Amino acid sequence: MLRARAARRIAAAAAYGGGGVGLLGGAMLGVLITEVALARRVVGGAGGTPPHADGRYGSAFVHGLGREPLLLGVLGDSTAAGQGVHRPRQTPGALLASGLAAVAERPVELRNVALSGAQTYDLERQVTQILCDPERLPDVCVIMIGANDVTHRVPATRSVRLLTEAVRRLREAGCEVVVGTCPDLGTIEPVYQPLRWLARRLSRQLAAAQTIGVLSAGGRTVSLGDLLGPEFEANPRELFGPDNYHPSAEGYATAAMAVLPTLCATLGLWPEDEERPDAARREGILPLARAAAEAAAEGGTEVTARGRWALLKHRKRRRLPTGPEVAPDGERPAHTGKSPASQPGDRDPGRTCG
């Protein structure tokens, strides 16, 4: 269990303020720099601004039950922001808000403060932004972060420490937290060996260490690694966007379907029998580091703290609704065949309360 040992070492160093550990020799580094240069020529740029999807979802439930909306916060990088798609309803935040509204039978207010290109150090600003109104604190937050830390060679210990601090701040404010851990960067189609091998190794190693840190701060994690692995690798034209780097609308829907069950479970919206491990689905109570390592290798795997141990679950994915009852205000549902009234808007990374 070398991956579990490495994740445990990174998480421990992050907790105690340790530095990064060098993994590459000089010759290997030279080869990788050449590979990075070649990959950048092929991978398209992430131009444009992600669609602005903030707003209320599931408004039809207001009149039926009269309950106040849940507030969903989304933080992270370009994946969380929805870079690569053109309609607000195609972004992961909108997909999760729609799904949560349908399961809870309650309207959901979405506030997305994710920023394309963000590294984990930007979470401090994003958390401050999402918590700036004490009268409207999120009920639950979803964080997707880590890919840019790998590509910019941020020490894993620093990355995990900053993520853990962000989760802890949100939990202390009373927010539930679900983290989609670092995706498997070895699936990016134009990237060749040995860079592909290293990208896969480093991203999975970071994902496992992220899991240990997040659980120590009171959050839950869902692995996006293997989920964005075989499925994306087998269907790159469908699940990657035009730039061959960010997911397409179908790719974001695949990821959202994996995160939604955990999002519902953390709010107590899932049946109680689903909270018990099912041996038939290879679920169980495992040592934390081992659970983190196993989750990093298989997408859609949830890890939840159980004292000094961890519950590893493979939740059944739930189809995301597209009906009018979960369409965002001002946007027509997808099945009408009409263009949405709302257009992608600019997101100001420096936006403040009020």
Question: For 326-351, how does the pLDDT look when each residue is reduced to its tens digit (9 = 90+)?
Answer: 455 545 443 333 333 333 333 343 44
Q: How far apart (Å, rounded) are the C-alpha atoms in residues 75 and 123?
A: 7
Higher pLDDT, 150 or 28: 150
* Known catalytic membership, residue 246: yes
Looking at the chain, how many residues does it have? 354
* Known catalytic membership, residue 243: yes
Cβ atoms within 10 Å, residue 211? 34
Candidate list 52, 86, 216, 243, residue with the active-site label: 243
* Known catalytic membership, residue 273: no
Please enumerate in sequence order all residues whose Cβ is within 8 A of that of 283, keeping only pairs 6 or more positions apart, or say none.
277, 311, 312, 313, 314
Residues 89-114 pLDDT 10s: 989 999 999 999 999 989 999 999 99
Look at residues 18, 32, 13 and name the one whose alpha carbon lies nearest to residue 201: 32
DSSP secondary structure letters along 173-210: TT-EEEEEPPP-GGG-TT--TTHHHHHHHHHHHHHHHH
Instruction: Give how far the C-alpha of residue 150 lies from the chain's centroid of Cα atoms, to the nearest Å.
Output: 15
Residues 272-290 pLDDT 10s: 667 777 877 888 899 888 8
pLDDT at 129 over 90: yes
Contact 284, 277 (CB under 8 A): yes
What percent of the chain stands above pLDDT 70? 65
pLDDT at 351: 41
Binned at pLDDT 50, 70 and 90, residue 164 comes out as: very high
Q: What is the pTM of this model?
A: 0.80
Backbone dihedral angles phi then psi of residue 146, each to the nearest 5 degrees: 135, -30
Instruction: Say how many Å lie between the first and final Cα of the chain, rounded.
Output: 50
Look at residues 282, 146, 151, 290 and name the one whose alpha carbon lies nearest to residue 224: 146
Look at residues 241, 269, 275 and name the one whose alpha carbon lies nearest to residue 255: 241
Cβ atoms within 10 Å, residue 15? 15
pLDDT at 169: 98
> Quick one: 144 exposed, middle or buried, by C-beta within 10 A (0-12, 13-18, 19+)?
buried
Candidate list 59, 77, 78, 226, residue with the active-site label: 78
Higher pLDDT, 300 or 194: 300
Candidate list 149, 203, 246, 314, residue with the active-site label: 246
Residue 67 sits at the vertex; the CA angle it makes with 66 and 73, to the nearest 5 degrees, is 140
